[in-house]
Amino acid sequence: MKVLVIGSGGREHALVWKLGQSAKVDKIYCAPGNAGIAELAECVAIGAEKLDELLAFALEKEIDLTVVGPEVPLTLGIVDLFQSKGLKIFGPTKAAAEIEGSKAFSKDLMAKYNIPTAKYGTFTAVDEAKAYLAEVGIPCVVKADGLAAGKGVLICETQAEAEAAIEDILIDNKFGDAGCRVVVEEFLTGQEVSILAFADGKTVVPMVSAQDHKRIFDGDQGLNTGGMGAYSPAPIYTEEVNAIVVPQVLEATIAAMNEENRSFSGILYAGLMLTPTGPKVLEFNARFGDPETQAVLPRLETDLVDIMLAVVEGRLAEMDIVWKEEAAVTVVMASGGYPETSEKGQVITGIEEAAAKGTIVFHAGTKESDGKIVTNGGRVLAVSALGENIAAAIEKAYEGVKEISFANMQYRTDIGKKALM
Ligand code: AMP
Ligand code: GLY
Helix (H) or strand (E) holding 361: strand 360-363
- For 7-43, write each residue's pLDDT tens digit: 999 999 999 999 999 999 999 999 999 999 999 999 9
Q: Which residue among 282, 283, 418 is best mutated to probe the pocket of ligand 1, counting the most ligand atoms within 8 A of its Cβ?
A: 282
Question: 66 burial class (0-12, 13-18, 19+ CB within 10 angstroms)?
Answer: buried
Query: In the chain, pLDDT over 90 holds for what percent of residues?
Result: 86
d(C-alpha 41, C-alpha 215), whole Å: 32
Tell whether the model's pLDDT for residue 325 goes beyond 70.
yes
Tell whether the model's pLDDT for residue 179 goes beyond 70.
no
- For 100-153, write each residue's pLDDT tens digit: 999 999 999 999 999 999 999 999 888 888 889 989 989 999 988 878 776 778
Question: 189 burial class (0-12, 13-18, 19+ CB within 10 angstroms)?
Answer: exposed
Nearest-CA residue for atom 5 of ligand 2 = 289
d(C-alpha 65, C-alpha 411), whole Å: 35
Of the listed ligands, the closest to the CA of 194 is: 2
Of the listed ligands, the closest to the CA of 71 is: 2
Neighbours of 124 (CB within 10 A): 12
d(C-alpha 125, C-alpha 334), whole Å: 39
Helix (H) or strand (E) holding 372: strand 372-376
Structural domains present in the chain: 2-93 (3.40.50.20), 125-180 (3.30.1490.20), 191-318 (3.30.470.20), 327-420 (3.90.600.10)
Q: What are phi and psi of 134, to 5 degrees?
A: -65, -35
Indicate if ligand 1 lies below 6 Å from the C-beta of 215: no
Q: Which residue among 11, 228, 290, 362 is best mutated to probe the pocket of ligand 2, counting the most ligand atoms within 8 A of its Cβ?
A: 290
- Please tell me whether the overall predicted TM-score, pTM, comes out greater than 0.75 for this model: yes
Which residues fall within 8 angstroms of residue 184, CB to CB, at 6 or more apart?
120, 121, 122, 123, 129, 132, 133, 136, 140, 141, 142, 143, 162, 166
Q: Are 77 and 101 in contact (CB under 8 A)?
A: no
Indicate if ligand 1 lies below 6 Å from the C-beta of 351: no
CA of 290 to the centre of ligand 2 (A): 5
Q: Which atom of ligand 1 is nearest to the CA of 271?
A: 4
